A and B are shown apart, each in its own frame.
Chain A
Amino acid sequence: MTMKWRGWALTTGVLAISAMAQAAPPTAAMLSNGCAGCHGTNGGSAGPSMPSLAGQSKEAIVDAMTKFKSGARPASVMGRLAKGYSDAEIAAMGEFFSKQKFHATNQSLDPAKVARGASLQEANCSRCHIDDGKEGKDDTPVMASQWLTYLQMQMADYLTGHRKMPEKMKEKVDPMSKEDLDALLHFYASVK
């Protein structure tokens, strides 16, 4: 039976023709797989300065990419790469990564800082960073299990004014000490 199929395929030339003529527009997977060289397979990052995209909220990814594209968010390579995609493609990529399995990282973190961060988060951040940062709300990103180095680099960008803080976040962050902020980041990095 299989021999027959093979013959069928060869005589109709189905293998050869399909390569040239009809190609569907790039699927979300085709677009997103290219990102995995830096962000890890399916967006689960193994590199501490590179954020995981797996399980990230679609809105947060679209927001980040749109701002990279316009230059509103500071970037190195992302400012250029984002210009390679249409808004619809960016939405498709956001959707693709949001559907991937959450990527839990194993990082060695100072437990005292994690504990201090936990109580700070509860009192200050939990209204937007819901469920210990495990869930994204609108364009608030999932923070749980993100690499500490990446979180620290982003916070540094916020504090130097390179990256613009949302108003509600600024109200909470401004009065906090560097130590408190670092404890908070330790907490988010620790959440599994």
Chain B
Amino acid sequence: MTLERRNFLKLLGAGAGVATAGLAGCATQQRGPASASTRKVVVIGGGYGGTIAAKYIRMMDPSIEVTLIERNDHFVSCPFSNLYLGGLMKDLSPLTIKYDKLAANHGIKVVQAEVTGIDAAGHSVTTSKGVFKYDRLVVSPGIEFRTDEIKGYDMASTPEIMPHAWKAGPQTILLRKQLEALKPGDNVVISIPLAPFRCPPGPYERASMIAMYLKQHKPGSKVIILDANPDIVSKKGLFMKGWQKHYDGLIDYRPAKKVTEVDTRNMAVLIEGVEEVRGAVINLIPPQKAGHIAHVAGLVGDDKKWCPVNPMTFESTLHKDIHVIGDSSIAGAMPKSGYSANSEGKVCASSIVALMNGKEITEMSGINTCYSYLSAKEAVSVTGVYRVNKEKNVIEAVPGSVGVSPDLSEVEAIYAESWLKNILTEMST
């Protein structure tokens, strides 16, 4: 808490309305923990979680200053990127958002910078553009890959040959180009890591979309799925049904096949170090963990992978005044999805605003709704409403709210399009 930030002139400079609120706060003294006009929240990551936390804090209490720090000047959505891989979209522009409207509409300071460190005791973050102080910090950096668990995997060069495309952008475009260049008759390998990973149904949707593309454009080619898990992780019955209906013989699903080694020169992967599988295109999705910055900042728990949080507020159990949301957090029964990250962003915003105003927090209520496409026109969904089980102190699904579609559905594909439109509009305006 530097005195400089409490500078009275700055306070006045913050705008008439805000300044008045700050002065009113002075008059009533003991009420709140900090002067209204100078309280600062920093948000790391302008993706599904971070944009929403930043926006809703400003919507709920415009006297809190919010700075959103993101390394890129735009964000490409992973949701629907499988449709691009399947050839249903000509480029990634429908999946790309910018931050200018979000910043202008809500008075969020958006800084394009790489966050390199968090000083939890000193309440500041270090970035490529200098140091930013905070009273509370929100961390929503998405995922990082546990590439050290795959022998021969080089962080820089391997994904250029065997793309993961599990962060949307150049990787997605690379995988698409490789699919286009595939010689008919050659095979595509998709390697799925052990759960938990970002988007449980995502790899199976991807297999569906790639199979759809092969069916149309690459006669004789098929998809070989090497799944480290003992079975399809999400929406199993629906994927099996869709594959049988549309891609019979085109998807070779192999459970309990954990890739432990890569051989990029021979375009091969090794399962448990012994069984070799080759592919002309290899979409190697490595096992995952919380975003790199969460590890650097000591926010990761005993599992060395994910960040433990208070399920009510998403405040880290390891560092005070730091909240972790989205894929990086351990959110109990909530899956690592974009919709969960969105919902967690709002829960976190509500808690932060309450805590910063010395008010009682509200019990969390979260939602997940996530669609997967099986063909150009059919999608299926999974849903859930989530609350904290206070005895166990963990987020659980409300009975009855969790479930999947009864069947492949054209109507759900139409709803899914609006899902994307609305959630990206929420994040960008």
Contacts and interface: CB of A to CB of B under 8 A. Distances in A.
Interface in B33-71: 33-35, 38, 55-56, 59
A24 B361 contact: yes
B414 A49 contact: yes
A76 B6 CA distance: 52
Interface stretch (B114-122, B141-149, B183-191, B348-356): B348-356
B398 A153 contact: no
Interface string A50-79: 100000000000000000000000001100
Interface residues of A, number: 46
B131 interface: no
Contacts of A169: none
A47 B339 contact: no
Contacts of B302: none
A172 interface: no
A31 interface: yes
A39 B425 CA distance: 10
Contact of A35 (B55, B363, B367): B367
A36 B426 contact: yes
A190 B383 CA distance: 32
A116 to B, nearest CB: 26
B369 A37 contact: yes
B409 A76 contact: yes
Contact of A49 (B1, B312, B355, B418): B418
Interface stretch (B201-209, B230-238, B399-407): B399-407
A85 B384 CA distance: 11
Interface in B361-404: 361-367, 369, 381, 383-385, 387, 398-403
Contacts, number: 175
B360 interface: yes
B421 interface: yes
A127 interface: no
B419 interface: yes
B383 A77 contact: yes
Contact of A14 (B33, B364, B366, B398): B33
A147 to B, nearest CB: 8
A29 B349 CA distance: 12
A19 B310 contact: yes
Contacts of B364: 26, 30
A176 interface: no
Contacts of A40: 422, 425-426
A2 B34 contact: yes
Contacts of A29: 350
Given A37-B343, A76-B411, A6 B33 contact: yes
A41 interface: yes
A23 B355 CA distance: 11
B422 A38 contact: yes
B13 interface: no
A84 B351 contact: no
Nearest to A69: B400
Interface string B315-329: 100001100000000
A2 B34 CA distance: 6
B409 to A, nearest CB: 7
A29 B347 CA distance: 10
A18 interface: yes
11 contacts: A1-B35, A2-B34, A9-B358, A19-B361, A22-B360, A23-B360, A30-B346, A33-B56, A48-B418, A77-B381, A80-B403
Given A19-B310, A37-B339, A41-B426, 6 more contacts: A33-B56, A37-B423, A46-B421, A47-B417, A47-B425, A76-B405
